Amino acid sequence: MHIDWVIAMADPMTHDLVTLGEAMLRLSVPAGERLERAPAYQVDVAGAEANVAIAVARAGLSAVWFSRLPESPLGRRAAGEIALHGVDVSHVVWDRTRRMGTYFLELSVPPRPVSVLYDRADSAATALTPDDIDWAIVESARAVHLTGITPALSPSARLTTMETARRAGQGGAEVIVDVNYRSRLWSPDEAAEVIGELCSLATTVIVTTEDARDLFAATGSPLEIAAMLRQTMSADAVVVTQGAEGAAWNSGTDSGEAPGHTAEVIDRIGAGDAFAAGVIIGLLGSGIASGVKRGLAMSGLKLGLRGDQLVVSQEEVEATLRGESDRQVRR
């Protein structure tokens, strides 16, 4: 069976964004429920890189997502939902033997943290290899987005991620690496070595203050961490996020900070991906400073939405950037 979603584009070989990663099914229970007692689970499509591609595509830019999915109803659900938002998934490799990765999510309120339970061993995405990638698309992209999640999946996925970063850099693309450390996938020492190598191939690195501390022993204010990591990683720019407090950036010629947006948290999963998408949009447009501010607005909006994906209009993003989101009812 051949499965194909085609997104019409002006030039099929030139894309604003190319990204690579695993999609999973997310099975969640609302805050106040426990996984072990829940009578039912809400099922959604999830995955950091797909989340970024969706947010970028919804902003009117062209985005391609590379991955492997099982040739099954579950795989088709994931591809179909990602494509629904305008992402080109026509290069997905369909796997007849491996499974769909899942994760179980228990939302919560303080002092109990959000809990994530992965069930992704031997998923289709763990079999990613460089042969699964159309390198002409990577090498002609304006921006390529990668995370520290994909190289944690398997040795072949790690090799594919590194080769994607190298090919993208050779093609002159912006290479954006979101560190995205997942402690349940690998140890800090192993992650630091591999993600550090990946960051050395990036033009822009995005990292939380927690990941900067745990992986790279970088401490201080977000501005100080950004300056320190930019030197050690040789990246053109480093962006450091600090949750609700906002973010800082250092690009050598420019540095600064921007505050976060006040938001009531319904679902924090995917907020970092929304932020990364805003940074990418800025890098492809008016620059990193505007990208950080856009990312903070998009991240704030995501906190108020259930599910992994930022499903908002650009008018809502622009209104948040202008500070027009203080009205409780808009009519």
Residue 12 domain flag: no
Q: Is residue 11 scored above 70 in pLDDT?
A: no
Residue 222 has a pLDDT of: 97
Residue 331 domain flag: no
The CATH number of residue 226's host domain is: 3.40.1190.20
Residue 221 domain flag: yes
- For the chain, what is the domain count? 1
- pLDDT cut 70: percent of the chain above it: 94
Catalytic, 189? Answer no
Which is catalytic among the residues 88, 178, 273, 308? 273
Residue 5 domain flag: no
Residue 1 domain flag: no
In this structure, the dihedral spanned by the alpha carbons of residues 294, 243, 65 and 170, taken in order and rounded to 10 degrees, is 80
Q: Which range marks the domain in which residue 122 is found?
A: 17-321
pLDDT digits (tens, 9 = 90+) for 230-288: 999 989 999 999 999 999 999 998 999 999 999 999 999 999 999 999 999 999 999 99
- Indicate the SS3 state at residue 30: coil
Nearest to 241 by CA among 216, 268, 211, 215: 211
Residue 238 domain flag: yes
Residue 3 has a pLDDT of: 43
Residue 258 domain flag: yes
Residue 324 has a pLDDT of: 81
- pLDDT cut 90: percent of the chain above it: 88
Residue 8 domain flag: no
Q: Is residue 6 scored above 80 in pLDDT?
A: no
In a 10 Å sphere around its CB, with 0-12 CB exposed, 13-18 middle and 19+ buried, how is residue 213 labelled? Answer: middle
* Cα–Cα separations (whole angstroms), residue 309 to 71, 99, 204, 238: 23, 22, 22, 24
219/212 Cα distance (integer angstroms): 7
Instruction: Say if residues 204 and 239 touch (Cβ distance below 8 Å).
Output: yes
